[in-house]
Chains A and B, each alone.
Chain A
């Protein structure tokens, strides 16, 4: 161990567990299960992108599905036109990043308040949804790719091994790729947060004015963070389309944005692991709700969001680390104390 660097046992545990899941899940799961877990990994990346910009950058992005959907559609259009997925994947990250930078310029350099940022990003995704919904018919195409309007775009090619268009990824390869990317993004964001940039970003979240008095450009830091988040959301969108070979306007929907917010609220804003767990849990829940007819998914999602905002505003992860772990420790201490008393009584 390098002198002065203290091992972070939490991160080590996550890494070991993550690798174990990456190797173990394909052995134990059938094809359906594997596809499902791949989707969870993709949503995990999406959750991380929002966790980074909201939880650490303090940027209230209520319309994150705009970047997710833009990445998804960019990949679909590009891969159909190029016939090969490497460039399409890069474009699917680049375009959302550029959109985020452009939007960020207008929002952060005007120094508008959090509420306005939330409302503008939400409006952005609303309008994306309406736009793409109205592109049905042969008149709307980009190159060879028909946009399809509310019907969506079917038969989008899967990812292939870079520059080998015929070597497409099978479900196993796709799972390994998405799982590995999830781990890489998780650790890369952790790494980014301990750099100077990351520290300043968190400081801006805590007190923007004070950071500016210290000579840092808060607007630029937020802009860069927002672009990184946009690129990661675009990556998730690209993987999502490559996974399902299909994309349709609901990737832009407000419900999609709300789901991401719910992942964070459930998992805990200001953590990276919490949102990933939140994403897996809520996605699993929505799949379960979809299998029955009694309750509508919106009702459950809305109720979950309401309950968490009102009763567990900081999410599950901080509750576990701040309440549950100390409680377990106190139980152990109490048990030790009881044993000591009992032994003392015998002696």
Chain B
């Protein structure tokens, strides 16, 4: 029984991390049709923001939940203005530019912090479940992931900004004709996606440690989740995270984490053959 709870927590944790690392990418892709290849580096910048803040005596919760997303959100605003804005409507060029950005950021982080791993302390103790012990922080990550998905849903569904964003997503020209400043909506959306990436990076920093090339270990899974999920950012992220989280965990249990990723990729390739528009291209159509 205790073992079953532990295993269940592992599964839910895998799903929650997938959702957390993919959500920022999915928002930007779903709203703007841009795949941000620098997404992994946005996360790493979040991790470093949190790490630096903690080393300067900032409370760890503040560093993870406020400093990381705000810092990366601001960076997102700047980069949107400098780079992404010049390439709207040219998806391939946008991908190439964000790829260049990703290399650039990795290089700059290596120059500043060096090629070493910085630690961030885990703020929660372990929890005993019967004869076993699990990490309390895992439970926090799960709760935060659910809260974030719910928060984004509420913002998109109920706020005026969310309404304008959804309108722009559905028909940008019509939204512009009705007086919406669509380029501002895009800027806010990109910054919001960046902030979510920063949050994910900050939250996962205590688990993973922080080093300049950390992004590479996230983006594969994030890309797979987002393209398999399809255009609807929330429903797509949630459904694809559940599917791939389960597959990843099963494959990891049977073999090792590396083959877990291989199983993810193979599933995604087969899935994309059957559902070229992603899961939400066929099911849950019209959802957020």
Residues of A within 8 A of B (CB): 60, 62, 103, 106-107, 109-112, 114-116, 118-120, 122-124, 126-127, 129-131, 134, 254-255, 258, 261, 265, 295-306, 309-310, 313
Contacts and interface: CB of A to CB of B under 8 A. Distances in A.
B100 A306 contact: yes
A118 B35 contact: yes
A109 B259 CA distance: 26
Contact of A299 (B33, B108, B224, B262): B108
Interface string B91-122: 11101110111111111101100000000000
Contact of A130 (B96, B104, B261): B261
A103 B269 contact: yes
B163 interface: no
B7 interface: no
B273 A106 contact: yes
Contact of B256 (A134, A258, A309): A134
A127 B92 contact: no
A-B pairs, top 7 by smallest CB distance, nearest first, are A302-B104, A305-B100, A298-B107, A302-B103, A299-B107, A306-B100, A296-B107
Contact of A254 (B96, B110, B216): B216
B258 interface: yes
Given A296-B110, A301-B103, 14 more contacts: A106-B270, A106-B272, A110-B274, A115-B92, A116-B272, A119-B223, A126-B219, A130-B258, A134-B258, A258-B103, A297-B107, A298-B104, A302-B101, A313-B93
Contacts of A134: 256, 258
Given A109-B273, A127-B220, A134-B256, A309 B96 contact: yes
A115 B272 contact: no
A114 B92 contact: yes
Given A111-B276, A118-B95, A131 B258 contact: yes
Contacts of A127: 220, 261-262, 265
A309 B100 contact: yes
Given A60-B92, A130-B261, A299-B104, A306 B110 contact: no
A109 B272 CA distance: 10
B103 A120 contact: no
B227 interface: yes
A325 B152 CA distance: 54
29 contacts: A106-B272, A107-B272, A110-B276, A114-B92, A115-B35, A115-B95, A116-B227, A118-B35, A119-B227, A122-B223, A123-B223, A123-B224, A127-B261, A127-B262, A131-B261, A134-B258, A254-B216, A296-B107, A297-B107, A298-B106, A299-B103, A299-B111, A301-B100, A301-B107, A305-B96, A306-B101, A309-B87, A309-B93, A313-B93
